Amino acid sequence: MEFGFADADEDFRVEVRAWLSEHVDSDQDRRVWERTLGKSGWIGLGWPESGYGNRSATLTQQVAWAEEYARSDAPPRSGHIGENLLAPTLIAHGSEEQKSRFLPAIAAGDELWCQGYSEPGAGSDLAGVRTVAVRDGGDGSYRVTGQKIWTSLAHEADWCFVLARTEVGSRRHRGLSFLLVPMDQPGCVEVRPIRQLTGTSEFNEVFFDGARARAEHVVGGEGEGWAVAMSLLGFERGVSTLAQQIGFARELGRVVEVAVASGAVGDPVLRDRLVRQWAELKAMRWNALRTLGRAGDAGAPSVAKLLWGGWHQRLGELAMQVRGAAAAVGPVDWTPSLSYELDLFQNQFLFSRADTIYGGSDQVQRTIIAERVLGLPREPKGVV
């Protein structure tokens, strides 16, 4: 499958490459970097609406931007949850007041968001949400109480979009609402970082204890949270998948280099695995191109997640194998007073253990495909 770019797309790519070359600073603070992107209109290229301070770009130009960004070694994004998840959801389901209030701040890089979906005991089963939001009889606002877990970048976020139960006694997908909750509420919102195998803490627990959400910050209307939440998940995978694959190709290239340098490539089993990783990465790209811009394909996001999650996890394992026994030794000597350190491959291996869990576990993705695409009988659910 060939994917071509028009002359206008290539001109756009040249502009992107020049801008990134001038502005990228790998040591730059991530929040400062978001504002730098926003100042030049690079946040919100894929939004179906412009006029919020964001540039307008075609689908192929969005691909060009994502590819050049991945190649530039630009800092990791802190604003992608607001840009790629919340903003399209607001455009689809939000009121004009909600769009006017939140989209310009996202496009400027001024406000960062996190996603309050998963909960202890419910995991990827969003219909099992137990966080409640009770309407205040005075000002009509909601008081949110409950716990969310695996909340990416909550420690940096200004706001959280929270799926909560607003109807007393409701079960499963009924009685849920999609609330926009400010994080700066001392005593009402507590963020606890979760230390991972890698020693870092991108994920967090978030505790809400009567946190306030204004009445006008319910997206889609009270009780319509399930439909809004499902719509948001449809935005979760798209152009960014192609950029992700550029990063994967770089990681695979490093593994191949080590395999050649160490002589591990002489092992026919390892050589076969390296070739298989390369072929599967090509297949992922073709699948991403096949589904790019297509609406209504209920299984596409789940298939994409299953493909890249397993692939990246296997690459982490392969990175350890090509190094042999040396993979078990850290880059610096361990001391009781110094936390352990990891080299690039060790960090990749340990972090990739979560690839088949976060963003919807493999089991959940297979259930979605079975029920929504193949039409198989629904999986029995326990009573919540």
194: nearest Cα among 162, 154, 159, 161: 154
Q: Return the beta strands (E) in the chain as ranges.
A: 113-116, 132-135, 142-148, 159-165, 176-182, 189-193, 204-213, 218-219
Give the span between the Cα atoms of 324 and 246, in whole angstroms: 26
Q: Tell me the three-class secondary structure of 78-101, residue by residue.
A: CCHHHHHHHHHHHHHHCCHHHHHH
Residues facing 212 on adjacent strands:
143
311: nearest Cα among 264, 239, 362, 257: 362
Amino acid type, 18: A
> In the 8-state DSSP scheme, what is residue 63?
H
Residues facing 208 on adjacent strands:
146, 189
Whose structure tokens read 């694959």? 245
Whether 223 and 175 have beta carbons less than 8 Å apart is answered as yes
Give the span between the Cα atoms of 101 and 93, in whole angstroms: 14
Indicate if 236 belongs to the active site.
yes
Give the span between the Cα atoms of 160 and 175, in whole angstroms: 19
Q: Tell me the three-class secondary structure of 144-196, residue by residue.
A: EEEEECCCCCCCCCCEEEEEEECCCCCCCCCCEEEEEEECCCCCCEEEEECCC
Whether 229 and 218 have beta carbons less than 8 Å apart is answered as no
Of these residues, 67, 111, 156, 236, which one is catalytic?
236
Cα end-to-end distance, the chain, whole Å: 46
Q: Residue 377: helix, strand or coil by DSSP?
A: coil
Amino acid type, 359: G
Residue 86: other Cβ atoms inside 10 A = 26
106: nearest Cα among 181, 59, 158: 158
**Residues assigned a catalytic role:** 236
